[in-house]
């Protein structure tokens, strides 16, 4: 009889918690890995293909973190950033499991961050660096190259900020309506 309760518990866990948005992480991870493998297969390292007057596809390796932080640190940063990302992924998964069904924006935001973090962790473990290729620029000024995983992390962070700002205004609105009714 216990055997029958396990599938129900699993279905309930994925239906009634923030884990129901893991599909966002999976799609993010698939798109990220597909794009990176395509770039590695079709382009030479440092090759740049102009797409528009402000955007190139430029294949580079990033041995550091955001904005190439610690890029030339000698190799230890690979495992340092991997450990940080694995820890963050674990905390996000735990948090998603704890999140009630009523919350939607926060678990979606964390699912984007999780998918992006997993994409970059994959790169660090398999290649020893992160594959970047999205290169935006104005005249001779280039934003540091990034990838779909980085974009997903940015989207997740923006959604977190949006939720933080709108949650405060929702709380203030609820407080004002409670005071008006009281």
Question: Which of the residues are catalytic?
Answer: 132, 150
Cα(68)–Cα(142) distance, rounded to whole angstroms? 13
Query: Per-residue b/e over 15-41, b at no fewer than 16 CB within 10 Å?
Result: eebbbbbbebbeebbebbbebbeebee
Long-range pairs of 84-88 with CB within 8 A, sequence gap ≥ 24: 85/117, 85/118, 85/120, 85/121, 85/124, 86/121, 88/113, 88/117
């Amino acid at each position: 009889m216990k055997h029958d309760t396990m599938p129900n518990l699993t279905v309930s866990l994925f239906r009634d918690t923030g884990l129901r948005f893991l599909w966002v992480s999976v799609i993010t991870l698939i798109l990220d890995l597909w794009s990176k493998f395509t770039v590695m297969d079709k382009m030479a390292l440092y090759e740049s293909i102009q797409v528009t007057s402000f955007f190139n596809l430029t294949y580079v390796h990033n041995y550091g973190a955001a904005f190439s932080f610690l890029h030339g640190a000698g190799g230890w940063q690979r495992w340092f950033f991997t450990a940080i990302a694995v820890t963050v992924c674990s905390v996000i998964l735990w948090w998603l499991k704890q999140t009630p069904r009523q919350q939607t924006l926060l678990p979606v935001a964390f699912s984007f961050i999780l998918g992006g973090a997993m994409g970059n962790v994959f790169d660090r473990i398999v290649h020893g660096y992160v594959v970047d290729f999205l290169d935006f620029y104005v005249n001779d000024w280039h934003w540091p190259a990034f990838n779909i995983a980085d974009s997903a992390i940015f989207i997740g962070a923006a959604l977190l900020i949006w939720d933080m700002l709108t949650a405060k205004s929702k709380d203030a609105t609820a407080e004002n309506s409670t005071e008006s009714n009281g």
